[in-house]
Structures are given as C-alpha cells and as structure tokens.
Chains A and B, each alone.
Chain A
Amino acid sequence: VLKKGLLGGALLFFGGSLVLALRPSRAKKVDASRFKVFDEREALVMSAIAATFIPPREGWPSVEEAEVVKTADEGLSRADESIRDEIKKLLALWENGLAQALFSGHLRPFSELGPSEREEVALGWKNSRLALRRTGFLALRTLVMASYYASEKTWPVIGYPGPPAGFYNPEATP
C-alpha cells in the first residue's frame, strides 16, 4: 500500500507541474492582496474547495462571510514552510485539468466546474485508492472546517452560544 501511495505521489506531482495547471481560470477573481500565503489563483481554488465542503445553506454564513480563505491563509502563514509548499502543490493539483481528466473525466479546472461536478471530484479524492490523495483530502477538509467554525458567525446556526461572559478578564494580573 505504501509503495503504491508513493508511486501515486510522484505521478500526481508530475501532473501538477504541467502547463494545464498554469492556464488562467475563467472563474471569478479573488483579491489576493489580502493574503500572506495564497496567490490569486490559490485563493480562488481554496474558495471553490471551501464552498464544496460547506455549500450555501439557508441561514448559514457563506464561506466568504465566514472568511474561510483568510483564516486558512493566516494559519498557514504561521506553519512550517514545507507545509505551505505542500498545500500550494495540493491546490494546484486539485485545480489541474489534466489530473481531473485522469481521475474524474473532467478536463476543466476544478474552479470552473459546477457544484455537482465539484462534489464528485471531492468524493474522488476522499475515497481514492491512493493514500496520498486521501491525505490531501483530509488536509484540506481540516483546514476548511477549522477555519469556518472558528468564525463566530457560524456559531448561532449550530446552536453554540459562545464562551460564557464574566470569566475571561484581559486585564487580569498573572
């Protein structure tokens, strides 16, 4: 299993380096000047993945309202450089049309797919036979979910009242 995973890894990252990954996306632009780690394209892919994991739902804050990409970016800016590099490669691969073709039959970049096609791609990563793709899925889901539920705006929809008042005191002496 391990051997297969590693071989798959080499193949995946080779795919990620192809020209297709660099083709400009036709999807809407994201303002990357706000970010420390993500470039414009990575922010766009991250946003598309986040909206797949947490689709629009009546009464729930959108991933934009919860500032998922910004929170994830801030977290990654504090992480080890090698982790930032891996996440960047992972986003390129997730977006890559050729890799999509290989695994799901879609030739368009992830960010240009419709919601049901995106869900299909995400399922492909989640249930992949390649350990590396499953790891990639877990990494991005954790990043998205932790960033989303870190936002106070998401708390009312799940019924979390937030920390009780009257205990935390920022003026307390040690």
Chain B
Amino acid sequence: VSERAIFRGDALPETTDVECDVCIVGSGPGGATLAAKLTAKGRSVVMLEEGGHYTRKNFDMRESTAFAHLYQDLGNRSTDDLSIHILQGRSVGGGTTVNWTTSLRTPSRILQHWRERFGLEQMKPEVLEPHWAWAEERLSIKRWPEGAANRNNGLLWDGLGKLGYERAMNPRNVKNCANLGYCGMGCPIDAKQSTLVTLIPEAVERGLSLYTNCWVYRLEWSGRRVVAAHARVLDERNNNTSKTVTVRAKTFALCGGAINSPVLLLRSGLTANDNVGRRTFLHPVVSTMGFFSEPVDGHAGAPQSVHSHHFSVREKGKIGFFLETAPIHPMLAGSNVTWFGAAQQEMMTKFRYAQATIGLTIDGLLAEEEGATVRLRNRESRRLSIRYKFVPANWEAFREACREMARVQFAAGAQAVWSLHENPVEMKSERDLHLLDAAEWKPQRIRIFTAHQMGGCAMGSDAKTSVVDPALRYRGLDNLLVVDGSVFPTSVGVNPQLSVFGVASWAAENLI
C-alpha cells in the first residue's frame, strides 16, 4: 500500500487547506465504506481521523499500549458517575481495529421496529441484504468452527446446550486467524479484516487522502450548507498543536461513531431541536464470573465466538438480552473485579480458572427508555459529559441476565459463580441463584460496560424527533450526512459493526 496518501499529523505543515468532493470525518466501518465506494465512483475524497495511524508493527499485544493509543480517553471513557465503562475505538480503523470480530446482520425485528416506530421505510432486509453480503465477502466474514472455540467460549457453548438454550457460533471477519486472543489490542498479524487493512488501503490506492491525528473541532456552516471542516492537529500525546487542517468540500459525511459524531455537531452549534446527543444506546453489559476446576485461560484463543439470542425477545415491557463472552486479560480483569484488598487479590489468583459470560441488554426499544445523553462540558475541552438514565426495566434485565448467565455457567460445571457487584454475590450452585434478588441493583453498585455505542444522531421521518432524515441528511443542512452507528434510533440487538457496514454501503450507493 502506498503510504504517500496517508498524512500523519507530525509530518504536516503549520496550515493545510484542501478541497475535495467529499470530506469524511472518521475511519471506522462507516467512513471507510464510504471512502472505498466513493473513490470507486471517481470522487475526490479526504478523510480526517483524530486517532493515529497504528499498524501491526505497533500492536505489541499489551493492554497498556492498546488502551493508550487505540481507545477513546485512554480506555477510560465512561458515564459521568462512572457507572458504565465505555470501550470505544480511536485510531485508523476506529472500532474495527480493536473489536472482537463478531459480525452479525441487523435482526429483522429491529428493522421492523424502525420502520413502524420511526418511519424508516428503506430499513428492510431486502434493501440491506446486498450490502451485508458485500461486506461479508469483502471482509471474509465466516462462521467460526465449533472445534476452534477456546475454552472460555466452549464452556458457554456447553452450558447453553445442556439447558437447551438457543446457541450459535459467531461469524468473524478474519483471514488466516491464528486464534491468539488479542483482537482487542489490534491484530499483530493482520488476520482481522478491519478497515485498517481492507477498505482504507483500497481507498488510498484509488486516491483517498487520509489525514491522521486531526481532531475536527468544528463544522463551519452558512445558510443551508456546511462550508468547511476545521481540524486541529494533535501531537502523539493527543495535545493540541498550533497546526490546523481545513477541508472544503461539496459534501460532508460524519462517521465518528456514536458519542463522537453528536459531539462534533454540538461543537458546531448544531442541535437539531435538542435531539443531538439524546437517545444514545449502549447495549449495557453485565457479566458473571464462573470459576472452574481446570484452567479456562480466557486470554488465549479467539475472544468471542459463541452467542445465544435465547433471551433477546422477552415478554412485553421487558428488555431483552443476548449472551456472549469477554476475553480475560490482566488490566481489564484487575480494574473490573470489584471490592479491593486481600479479597480482590484472592479473586485474581483464580485468573486462569475464570470464565466470563456477558449479558448485553438491548436498550432503546421500550417507550420509557431515553438511554444516555451526550453533552459538551465546555467548548474548549475535549472532555464530554455522558449520562445514562436507567429505568426499572434496565435493572430487571441486568438481574435476569445475571441469573441466566450463572445458570448456564453452573450447567457447564462451574464450582462457583460471582457477580460483579461492589458487594459480590457468591453462588455455589444453582440453588443460590435467588441470592441475586437481594443484591444492589443500582448505579455504581455493579460493574456495567459497553463496547457498543449507538444513537445520538437518530434517523427518522419525524423532523421533531430525529437528527437526520431517512436519507441520513442532517435536518436543516443540505450537504451534511451522518453515516455511522449514531444514526440508529435504538440499539441493534447484535454486535453492531456489520449493521454499520450495511447502512454505509447502502448510503454510498444511493445517497451520495
């Protein structure tokens, strides 16, 4: 791949002014898909990415390196009260550089909800199918073989089977995968087919100019048109430098992902009737630790290869959840195992014997849910405000997800199962599942995570409640589109990357 069209911040002059047909902000699944498809149509395209250009020669398989360079806020992004820990990518490739490769199509029932509730007529399987198929082919998405599952996933598979719960192997976007288990730190052998090694190089070959370490802090607009995107060049420690990049384009596409795209709109004085940043959904995740007599070694092997959608659709009025696994590495485990002192150390001595099942709750489908609201703290600071409004249905879903996860872990042979409450619930057998009823189901009293960020620039047919129209155009500006997970009006109920690729491919071929 030619490096000539990838410009690192430190190599840029004091001021850079460029003009093009399309300016794309962000290099994750949304931005990279647009870049690949629009350069193929012969458009001149410039992409701005706030993170750095890190490649396999930087992916040293250490959490401390990865969090510092490949994640938002050094891996410490969270809601203001620290109740939800938000893992979100930040480098060339965005989330695709660090995700755990699970690649599932948007469920039909979610698209149906979007059509009925938000008037999104084009969001139907027959429209999106060719785009999902394109991504599956381009990114080598194939179902991971059952025999290749590591023990962390194999135990979930076994437990689900014993209970007769629905289960399936995950399709993964990998080629010649060595089953290492370090997807979250960047793939050191380019086996993961992230946009970093697929669509970005392809677009660069066709003329894409990619500027990295460029933090877009404002869209300049006048009347009904965006005129320019203004970026500050960041140094390698992410501090602002005096250097600037200004891009003037016919069309602008925001592809920074949920949280980030809404924030750029807010910094630019664009609020869409106060809808920008609202209805941010996170698939809030709870986890239970199952302890086994034989080593599980959750750090080794493809990190996430099994799922169950047995509980995705529950009774009316309840929030559904799906089950998967999370890899177990020292920093993530150490900072999320609750309590402290000798008790925590004791727990950490069981590091090799722990199996981590996660329950991802499908938020945003109930009328009473508002999800998270993203706001600026002030114009100058890059620090954000993120507040999640929990409703009783969230807590009911967390509790039932923990109960079902523990049940599955005991069915798989766990000797004990612990919740991640600040005062952990310790269960010795299935007979102890009722102990969960008395636990504290409140913010900050149980660890909650998210690696899936959606919404905040909701698409919809109602101008009063949406940020972009059904053609992804920002309401009130004719040449600004949002093309990333932030346009989803609810969570998607599966790991979201393939949903983003699908919508972006549809947008590139029909809307720009």
Contact = CB atoms under 8 A, between A and B. Distances in A.
B335 interface: yes
Interface stretch (A13-21, A97-105, A127-135): A127-135
A163 B331 contact: no
B330 A160 contact: yes
B510 interface: no
Given A57-B342, A82-B377, A119-B341, A141 B55 contact: no
Nearest to A148: B334
A161 B158 CA distance: 26
Contact of B178 (A77, A167, A172): A167
Contact of A146 (B238, B335, B344, B422): B335
Interface stretch (B60-68, B260-268, B395-403): B60-68
Contacts of A141: 335, 340
B74 A75 contact: yes
Interface string A96-119: 000000000000000000000001
Interface string B328-364: 0111011101001110110011011000000000000
Interface in A1-57: 52-55, 57
Nearest to B377: A82
A82 B76 contact: no
Interface in B303-331: 329-331
A167 B181 CA distance: 12
A55 B342 contact: yes
Contacts of B68: 75, 78
Interface in B236-264: 237-238
A53 to B, nearest CB: 4
- Counting chain A CB atoms within 10 Å of each CB, which of B1, B73, B188 scores highest? B188
A164 B381 contact: no
Interface in B362-402: 377, 381-383
Contacts of B443: 131
Interface string A62-91: 000000000100010111111100000000
A155 B330 contact: yes
Contacts, number: 130
A168 B61 contact: yes
A163 B74 contact: no
B474 interface: no
A12 to B, nearest CB: 15
Contacts of B3: 174
B57 interface: yes
Contacts of B337: 145
B180 A135 contact: no
Nearest to B352: A159
A77 to B, nearest CB: 8
B444 A134 contact: yes
A34 to B, nearest CB: 18
A5 B55 CA distance: 44
A155 B337 CA distance: 16
Contacts of A138: 82, 444
Contacts of A135: 81-82, 444
19 contacts: A53-B341, A55-B341, A60-B345, A80-B73, A127-B423, A135-B82, A145-B331, A145-B337, A148-B334, A149-B331, A150-B63, A159-B351, A160-B329, A163-B182, A167-B61, A167-B189, A168-B56, A170-B60, A171-B57
Closest 5 CB pairs of A and B: A163-B61, A149-B334, A158-B351, A149-B330, A150-B64
